[in-house]
Homo-oligomer: A and B are copies of this chain.
Amino acid sequence: MVGPMSPPSFAVTVDLVVLTIRERALQCLVVKRGSEPFAGRWALPGGFVETDEDLGDAARRELQEETAIGTGLHLEQLGSYGTPGRDPRGPTVTVAYLALAGSLDDPVAGSDAAGASWRGVDAGSAESLAFDHASILADGVDRARSKLEYTPLGAQLCPAEFTVAQLRAVYEVVWGQTLDPRNFHRKVTQTPGFLSPTGRRTTADGGRPAQLYRAGDAGRLHPPITRAHE
């Protein structure tokens, strides 16, 4: 029997998968790294957790520092990644968070980072991300796809006020399939708590003016919105 040993020492980081819809595509917030390792490469926003800081608070702080986005964003823990060697600086575990941003809060500023931008989430353009961030991003997109099925979080990817058609576009882009406008309309308007009507209308899309809604207060969709699963 040996005496008590001090436990192995790790650095802990948070990384954020922040998704939004732009140009009718699902896009992800990335920052250009200003320092080694991977200086000049694109990566998910994130950084070291302080020892007196909760994980979620660290995620919110890093998001604020690096991209000045998303006060009041819905943040959800996605998973943790600790494969040995994933960070050349030494043993590092990262806790990934997922956030969905409405299409309006797009202006992005860098402060800690050399730059920040949105980019598509398709496999090709994600390949070049630093660390294991391509894999984390893929997990985030998967999670977002699932969340849209059984939660009303699709509304988080819309502006504060939106039409049913805009919400449908979110689903179509995230799921990569077209949905029948009439059945979708029936589904979302008749699910209690999904949408709350503002009474206002917009005619921005041409055609008959559409009702404007904001996100309702439902926590979970019953029954879920179904999609063709592979």
A residues within 8 Å of B by Cβ? 4, 7-13, 35, 48-55, 77, 79-84, 89-91, 93, 95, 220, 222-224, 226, 229
Bound CA span A49–B13, Å: 16
| B55/A93 in contact, CB under 8 A | yes
8 pairs of A and B residues whose beta carbons are closest in the complex? A51-B91, A7-B11, A55-B82, A7-B48, A8-B51, A80-B80, A9-B9, A10-B12
Report the copy number of this chain in the oligomer. 2
Which of B8, B54, B224 makes the CB contact (< 8 A) with A48?
A: B8
Nearest B-chain residue to A149, judged by Cβ = B150
| B83/A95 in contact, CB under 8 A | no
Bound CA span A8–B48, Å: 7
Bound CA span A89–B5, Å: 12
| B54/A84 in contact, CB under 8 A | yes
Q: For A82, A84, A224, A229, which residue has the most chain B Cβ atoms within 10 angstroms? A: A82
Bound CA span A9–B51, Å: 7
| B223/A229 in contact, CB under 8 A | no
Which of B7, B93, B222, B224 makes the CB contact (< 8 A) with A95?
A: B93
| B12/A51 in contact, CB under 8 A | no
CB contacts (< 8 Å) of A53 on chain B: these are 84
Which of B35, B83, B93, B229 makes the CB contact (< 8 A) with A12?
A: B93
Which of B10, B93, B95, B222 makes the CB contact (< 8 A) with A229?
A: B222
